[in-house]
Amino acid sequence: MAAQLILNEPDMKKTLFFTACCLLMALGVSAQIPALERVEPMFWWVGMSNPNLQLIVHGNNIASANVQLNYPGVKLIAVHKVENPNYLFVDLHIFSSASPGTFPINFSKAGEKTLTYRYTLKKRDKSPVRAQGVTNRDLIYLIMPDRFSNGDLKNDSVTGMRETAVDRSKMFSRHGGDLKGIMDHLDYLKDLGVTAVWLTPAVENDEPQASYHGYAITDHYKIDPRYGSNELYKQFVDKCHAMGLKVVMDLVHNHAGTEGYTLQDMPMKSWVHQWPKYTKSNFRDAAVMDPHASLSDRKQMLDGWFDHRMADMNENNPYLQNFLTQNHIWWVEYSGVDGFRLDTYPYNDPAYMADWAKKVRTEFPHLSIFGETLVWSAANQAFFTEGNTVNRGLDTHLPGVTDGVLKEAIYDALNAKEGTEGVNRLYSVLAQDFLYQDAAKNTIFLDNHDMSRFLSVVGEDITKYKSGMAMLMTMRGVPQMYYGDEILMKNYSNPDGLVREDFPGGWPGDKDNKFTAAGRSKKENDAFNYVRTLANYRKNTPALQTGKMMQYIPEDGVYLYFRYDKQKTVMVVYNSREQDQSITTERYSERINGTLKARNVITDDVVELSKLTIPKKATLVLELLPNNTH
């Protein structure tokens, strides 16, 4: 039966093209493509923990070629032919004795000129600032590159790509932001108190429309030329490291853009999940963990497509597994990124993702990994984390997740009335941290590129905004903020484009430049300075990074918790009610431990601890002072 790539697009020409490609593949007829189009990974390194490497070779009827190589320390183990004659999968073993260098891999056919690919093995870079990990000592700043800053006008439109228009007036068009624009504003991030930068995927998305978001990858080994180049991405990482900033790379295992070469000319029909007709995922993560779930529900959750233009990759296919895993290892070794954020984690094959995590962490022991799990209970989140802590029967080897449950609890604390919801829900969610092997590895956040902006969710109430930011900067976990939150960017994700607006000042000719204090309004500067004060205080306060946390059951709408280590104790007090409240602090003596005074981290005022007044919906961040302080 012919391989069937299901697009269900209205464009009949495209449908016919895909059908023709699939029929040719099934019949063993080669598509008319260059004789040797690519070899991936295009180069590798000596001294990797895993000595085995599988090359994917794509070229016109390349399966009819004999493969030969001769290089000390490298052995050709196997050559795999698959359904599509335009592919070979070549297994190499790279011994520890192999030296860096370049050697020919020859593809010979009887009566034809030999095709040669000169393969390079490089020396690994063992610099300690590479792949160093992003931890609870950090503050992550999430950027959508197309919408942050345009530093190079020359790459706005790239000839030959399917989407060449740049139109900032349209939310689904490309706007021209790029790597150079981000690099131009690293000083801004450093001043803000950011220590790590997470970019939505910067690899090529050569789709005909709405390609700006980055999650429809068409070339896993190539930075999108509208952002820059592979070399520029490496320079971006190097510059971040030189400035004391880390970099998180966004990975997409589950799906890929339909215009990529492995989708246009599939190696085999099992490269993607096939359905008799287009079938979208049911997006119900419970089907993965429900012991009573039907097989059909679980299959649709895991194997259904994300979108017509985002094919669901078959992670049970061993060739695809090698392709993805090696690609991700390649990017770390090539660029030195410090962590991975894994897109749509629950939709991936569990066994493969566990194996992937083990292999990546073996190569890079300090690299941090967190998975996107937008689920609705702490138990659901813990299900995906390492350690088999909820009797899953599988250790995922995933250190942390995006803590959407804590986000929703913070929203409840800020917006909902008391009862089982409101501030009590926040307490209850944190009380369930026993479910995780280490909840401090979870990434905590208030919003991101897929959801309504925090300021809008709290009704543009600045007091609530500041309270949420205070919680973000002082709770357990790895805090992450979304670009522009610090300057009060707003909007609801209806549609998503409304929360992906351009950062004002990132484009030549912008009316306002909010990267500078002079370009911000008084209200925006107040918010910026509040966030900057907290972020920089956190950066210099280990108790807020790696210290323990102790919380107290909310009482009269007041929620109080401590972060502390042997050197310092920070007390955080939130008043969830709509009126100012005064409290006495005898109840909290276990942690106050006789301390008489504290310093307000925001105002620098010294306050008496015996009785505190907290304005309505406000949060106080107080550093306890030694009793000999005057």
List, as one string, the DSSP characters of 540-563. Answer: T-HHHHT-EEEEEEEETTEEEEEE
Considering only CA atoms, which of 575, 580, 585, 573 is closest in space to residue 610?
A: 585
What beta strand segments (E) does 234-374 contain? 246-251, 255-257, 310-312, 339-342, 368-371
Angle (CA) 136 432 617, round 5°: 75
What string of H, E and C letters represents the secondary structure of 215-235?
A: CCCCEEEEECCCCCCHHHHHH
Nearest-angstrom CA–CA distance, 621 and 599 = 8
Residue among 576, 573, 578 at smallest CA distance from 611:
573
Of 474, 473, 455, the closest CA to residue 464 belongs to: 455
- Annotated catalytic residue, options 372, 485, 501, 623: 372
> 220 with 203: CB under 8 angstroms?
yes
Is 231 exposed, middle or buried (CB count within 10 Å of its CB: 0-12, 13-18, 19+)? exposed
Residue type at position 9: E
Whether 343 is catalytic? yes
Placement of tokens 């401590």 in the chain: 562
> Tokens at residue 99, please?
């030296």
Spatial neighbors of 19 by CB under 8 A, at least 6 apart, are: 4
Choosing from 343, 386, 486, 502, the catalytic residue is 343
**CA 464 distance to own-chain centroid:** 27
Tell me the C-alpha distance between 487 and 96, whole Å: 52
Nearest residue to 313 via CA among 5, 2, 90: 5
CA distance 448 to 73: 47
Beta strand pairing status for 101-108 and 43-45? unpaired
By annotation, the residues acting in catalysis are 343, 372
